[in-house]
Structure 1
Amino acid sequence: MKRGKFITFEGGEGVGKSTQAKRLAERLERAGVPVIITREPGGTPVGEDVRDLIMKDRPTDPMTELLLFAAARAEHVTSVIRPALDDGTWVISDRFIDSTRVYQGKRYGLEPELISLLERYTVSPDFPDLTLILDLPATEGVERAQNRGTLSRYDAERIETHEVLRKGFLEIATSEPKRCVLIDASLPVSSVETAVWQAVSAHLLVEAR
């Protein structure tokens, strides 16, 4: 049995990650590929509890937030992602390691070496096969988030903060071109879906055949 592929969606607030993850899963299913969708923080009962805690109130120390995310991720990888991949199922995750690298690394200035060390113990060797980074001007992303309704504490950050986050994702896309594909999320939803499918087809489906 072939091992499944691991795909992650990344990007700032309001870029459409959840929508595109769902559409990609539907396309893969139509192509006969077994697939599950999950998210971070979340994906497990422990992860969802951590999500509720973090969304409710920001810890005083950024290190606390980093460690909460790391704990939720360890549970996520061990109980959901790794078993699915080993079973030949493809996994699509709405956010993963790059969100930590950007939000806790770039936003709060926590050391990349520390974040990498945590990844070694919580993720390795199950790093994403493909990461789709949806890019959108920060002002447009915030506007979309506002139109969704109630803003999370992340959505409600100052626009300057959203610009920092966007820059962080763009830097990752540039530094890891073999893993990451940058997609213009300002295009119509159907056009973004097409670009996502083209990236998955080129990087993973050809290899899987």
Structure 2
Amino acid sequence: MVLSSGSPTLRVVFIAFEGGDGAGKTTQIELLRARLVEDGQDVVVTREPGGTDLGASIRQVLLHGDAIAPRAEALLFAADRAHHVATVVRPALRRDAAVLQDRYIDSSVAYQGAGRELDPAEIKRLSLWATEDLLPDLTVLLDVTPQDGRSRRGAVHDRLESEQDDFHARVREHYLQLAAQDPGRYLVVDASLPREEIAAIVAERVDRL
């Protein structure tokens, strides 16, 4: 992502990690963070929802509260995203930090668009409006089957994780469709590979940035 700061143009890196629940996003973000920090890079690690105080409150409602109408759910995710980008992501990019983020626009497109069977294009437009069209330089999609994801998560599930496998199958399929439509911005990795192998694949792609 290239941003103008009023003086010279800065080259900054915004990387989103996506995938079904249980794909191993948190692990891979930490491995990449450690590698970038070792190289002397300023790194901000964040997540959606929950990357701000407001986001933490929205996360509690979305993932641990009562049932929410699908459109209301989509709007709550977009509200969190708008505040998060304005107060965390853009300020970090402007100071030339790398941003590694657990979930971004594609999560809403896949979960609320495909999973909840809303219109994915409308969900994407909503998030692009909320973020003023900010897209990642790279989206790492850790591909996991619904069955493997459920096995990895164990016995504890939040409100979205508790959905049936057909819901998660729609989510997975739409993620793969998004990646196929824009292979230059996506890296799809089999989440069943050993974590060190996944980290090496991600590091090789990040090095190109």
**What are the residue-to-residue correspondences of 1:60-99 with 2, within 5 Å?**
60-99=68-107
Distance 2:66 2:125 in 1: 23
How much does 1:201 deviate? 1.1
The residue identity in structure 1 corresponding to 2:32 is L
Aligned length: 201
Query: Does the 8 Å CA contact 1:4/1:84 hold for their aligned counterparts?
Result: no
Instruction: Describe the superposition over 1:101-125 as per-residue Cα deviations: whole angstroms up to 9, x where unpaired.
Output: 0000001122234223322321134
Unmatched 5+ stretches in structure 1: 205-209
How much does 1:49 deviate? 0.4
- State the SS of the aligned residue for 2:156: coil
Residue 147 of structure 2, aligned match among 135, 139, 145: 139
Quick check: 1:193 aligned with 2:199? yes
Query: Does the 8 Å CA contact 2:23/2:143 hold for their aligned counterparts?
Result: yes
Match of 1:207 in 2: none
How much does 1:191 deviate? 0.8
Query: Does the 8 Å CA contact 1:59/1:65 hold for their aligned counterparts?
Result: no
Residue 172 of structure 1, aligned match among 169, 173, 178: 178
**What are the residue-to-residue correspondences of 1:26-175 with 2, within 5 Å?**
26-146=34-154, 149-175=155-181
Output the TM-score relative to the length of structure 2.
0.91
Match of 2:187 in 1: 181
Query: Does the 8 Å CA contact 1:4/1:90 hold for their aligned counterparts?
Result: yes
Query: Does the 8 Å CA contact 1:3/1:87 hold for their aligned counterparts?
Result: no
How much does 1:64 deviate? 0.4
Output the TM-score relative to the length of structure 1.
0.91
Query: Does the 8 Å CA contact 1:3/1:89 hold for their aligned counterparts?
Result: no
- State the SS of the aligned residue for 1:141: helix
Distance 1:10 1:52 in 2: 20
- State the SS of the aligned residue for 1:190: helix
Distance 1:116 1:124 in 2: 12
Quick check: 1:8 aligned with 2:8? no
Distance 1:192 1:120 in 2: 29
Query: Does the 8 Å CA contact 2:128/2:134 hold for their aligned counterparts?
Result: no
Unmatched 5+ stretches in structure 2: 1-7
Say what the alpha-carbon RMSD is for the aligned residues: 1.4
Distance 1:120 1:164, change over 3 A: closer
Distance 1:72 1:168 in 2: 22
Distance 1:193 1:81, change over 3 A: same
Query: Does the 8 Å CA contact 2:109/2:123 hold for their aligned counterparts?
Result: yes
Distance 1:161 1:125, change over 3 A: closer
Instruction: Describe the superposition over 1:20-78 as per-residue Cα deviations: whole angstroms up to 9, x where unpaired.
Output: 01111110111111111000111100111000111122544101001101110000000
How much does 1:15 deviate? 0.6
Distance 2:133 2:92 in 1: 14
Report the identity percentage: 39
How much does 1:158 deviate? 1.4
Distance 1:124 1:58 in 2: 30
